[in-house]
């Protein structure tokens, strides 16, 4: 039995470096053609794709002058 709210999918990288996001994942996260996704990479932990609405929050965190202290 899988943990609630946890998913795993596979994707194949094509010759041009493109991947197809599985239909179930696109539907679950409301990803539509033309959407821009943020990819975060860590050499030890791998690649993460945060929810598509996370981009503004990410920029607020990254560029907030209060975070410089």
| Domain boundaries of the chain, sorted by first residue | 23-68
* Rounded (10°) CA dihedral 60, 66, 67, 69: 170
Mean pLDDT across 45-62: 82
pLDDT band at 15 (very low <50, low <70, confident <90, very high): very high
pLDDT value for 55:
76
pLDDT value for 53:
78
Check whether 18 has a pLDDT greater than 90.
yes
Mean pLDDT across 20-27: 94
C-beta of residue 22 within 8 angstroms of C-beta of residue 11: yes
Closest CA to 40 of 55, 24, 61, 22: 55
pLDDT band at 66 (very low <50, low <70, confident <90, very high): low
């Amino acid at each position: 039995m899988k943990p609630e709210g946890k998913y795993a999918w596979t994707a194949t990288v094509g010759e041009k470096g493109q991947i197809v996001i599985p239909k179930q994942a696109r539907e679950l996260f409301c990803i539509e053609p033309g959407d821009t996704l943020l990819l975060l990479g860590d050499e030890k932990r791998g690649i993460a794709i945060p929810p598509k609405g996370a981009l503004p929050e990410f920029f607020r965190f990254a560029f907030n002058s209060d975070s410089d202290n």
